[in-house]
């Protein structure tokens, strides 16, 4: 069994990393940054996003687990005081794996080259200074011409992140779906968008096509894409999944409650 540890790189996270590494090596586990079976992320949900993208090419071979050194997270749901318990479970192989859906992003540039990305939380397209104008297609059929600040397309497990701030619904990660939410759409007698978040099932697509040459930024999780001149972007539920190591039940709705309502 091989492991790696991703730290947020603050003093507390680094100290925990040293401890965890020592314990796991005492149990005979091997540290392998390149090809681990399990990745322990220590920090916050943002740290787990980094870990995810570091291993995005081998998602079928790796399971993630997160320890939070700040507030309770959605991916980082273990407390530092539980480190020894966690190490024991890993060493004894006492865990099951749950799989969550991901968002696939296909970017096609003007030379018809396609780049594919996977998002754990969401992808966004936004224009900071001028109105973003995009034609939105659902399953290749024109749906609306969006004018506004931008659009966010999120995964179920990412629905508690940016999507939530945009008024999107929280979606349980057993649902194979993606959600499209608007950022400040222009709506009046001339311009019209649906206004509500849209939830798309597996195999449906959302295509965004810029209406004219304009500058905008594209993000995938914490990463900003250097997209160049693009023709269109297609979003769908990915065939790949992310795998989380689960050592105890901590149901999604309990995590939602403890993160947003109150934690005991
Ligand atoms: P960040 O600015 O540190 O993250 C923003 C906040 O989102 C942090 O509190 C982070 O938790 C939390 N978060 C990340 N994934 C989450 C999830 N699945 N459910 C609930 N909360 C979550 O930047 P970052 O750490 O690199 O994370 C990038 C993410 O920031 C993006 O994927 C996007 O979802 C989010 N974001 C949110 C807004 C907004 O809400 N208005 C705007 C931009 C980006 P930790 O503190 O534990 O890392
Ligand atoms: Mn963060």
pLDDT of residue 47: 98
Are residues 38 and 90 in contact, defined by beta-carbon separation less than 8 angstroms?
yes
| 125 and 215 together in one domain | yes
User: Predicted confidence band at 31 (pLDDT cuts at 50, 70, 90)?
Assistant: very high
User: Does 147 appear as a known binding residue?
Assistant: yes
The string of pLDDT tens digits covering residues 136-183 is 999 999 999 999 999 999 999 999 999 999 999 999 999 999 999 999
Domain total of the chain:
2
pLDDT of residue 162: 98
Q: Which domain holds residue 68?
A: 2-95+247-260
State percent of the chain over pLDDT 70: 100
Strand 30-31 and strand 2-7: the pairing is parallel
| 73 and 133 together in one domain | no
Record the tokens describing residue 92, joined without a space.
């004894």
| 142 and 205 together in one domain | yes
The string of pLDDT tens digits covering residues 100-139 is 999 999 999 989 999 999 999 999 999 988 999 999 999 9
Q: Which ligand lies nearest to the CA atom of residue 70 in the structure?
A: 1
pLDDT of residue 141: 98
| 123 and 173 together in one domain | yes
Determine which residue's CA is closest to atom 32 belonging to ligand 1. Answer: 221
User: Does 121 appear as a known binding residue?
Assistant: yes
| 120 and 53 together in one domain | no
54 pLDDT more than 90: yes
Separation CA 127–CA 130 (nearest Å):
6
Separation CA 11–CA 16 (nearest Å):
9
229 pLDDT more than 90: no
User: Predicted confidence band at 99 (pLDDT cuts at 50, 70, 90)?
Assistant: very high
- Average confidence score pLDDT of the chain: 96
Q: Dihedral angle at the C-alpha atoms of 190, 191, 196, 198, nearest 10 degrees?
A: 130
| 152 and 190 together in one domain | yes
| 188 and 67 together in one domain | no
Instruction: List pocket residues of ligand 1, CB cut-off 6 Å.
Output: 44-46, 49, 70, 73-74, 76, 121-122, 157-158, 160-162, 165, 221-222
Separation of CA 221 and ligand 1 centre (Å): 8
User: Predicted confidence band at 226 (pLDDT cuts at 50, 70, 90)?
Assistant: confident
Determine which residue's CA is closest to atom 37 belonging to ligand 1. Answer: 162
| 220 and 253 together in one domain | no
| 113 and 44 together in one domain | no
First to last CA, the chain: 35
Strand 132-138 and strand 63-68: the pairing is unpaired
Separation CA 146–CA 171 (nearest Å):
24
Domain containing residue 128: CATH number = 2.60.200.30
Domain containing residue 254: CATH number = 3.40.50.10330
| 107 and 221 together in one domain | yes
245 pLDDT more than 90: yes
- Higher-pLDDT residue of 215 and 256 is 256
The string of pLDDT tens digits covering residues 193-225 is 999 999 999 999 999 999 987 889 999 999 999
Q: What is the pLDDT averaged over residues 248-256?
A: 95
| 91 and 109 together in one domain | no
User: Predicted confidence band at 76 (pLDDT cuts at 50, 70, 90)?
Assistant: very high
Determine which residue's CA is closest to atom 23 belonging to ligand 1. Answer: 46
| 212 and 255 together in one domain | no
Q: What is the pLDDT averaged over residues 27-42?
A: 98
């Amino acid at each position: 069994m091989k492991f790696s540890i991703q730290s947020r790189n603050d003093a507390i996270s680094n100290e925990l990393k040293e401890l965890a590494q020592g314990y796991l090596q005492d149990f005979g586990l091997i540290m392998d940054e390149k090809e681990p079976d399990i990745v322990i992320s220590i920090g916050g949900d943002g740290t787990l996003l980094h870990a995810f993208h570091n291993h995005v090419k081998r998602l079928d071979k790796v399971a993630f687990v997160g320890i939070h050194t700040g507030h309770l997270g959605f991916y980082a749901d273990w407390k530092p005081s539980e480190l020894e318990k966690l190490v024991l479970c890993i060493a004894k192989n006492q865990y099951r794996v749950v799989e969550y859906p991901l968002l696939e992003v296909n970017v096609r540039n003007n030379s018809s080259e396609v780049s594919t990305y996977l998002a754990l939380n969401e992808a966004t397209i936004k224009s900071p200074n001028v109105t973003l104008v995009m034609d939105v297609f659902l399953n290749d059929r024109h749906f609306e011409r969006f004018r506004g600040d931008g659009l966010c397309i999120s995964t179920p497990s990412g629905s508690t992140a940016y999507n939530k701030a945009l008024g999107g619904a929280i979606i349980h990660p057993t649902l194979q779906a993606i959600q499209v939410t608007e950022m400040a759409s222009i709506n009046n007698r001339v311009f019209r968008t649906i206004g509500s978040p849209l939830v798309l099932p597996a195999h449906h697509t959302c295509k965004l096509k810029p209406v004219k040459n304009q500058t905008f930024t594209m993000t995938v999780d914490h990463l900003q894409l250097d997209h160049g001149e693009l023709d269109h972007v297609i979003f769908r539920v990915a065939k790949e999944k992310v795998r989380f190591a689960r050592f105890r039940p901590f149901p999604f709705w309990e995590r939602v409650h403890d993160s947003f309502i109150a934690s005991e």
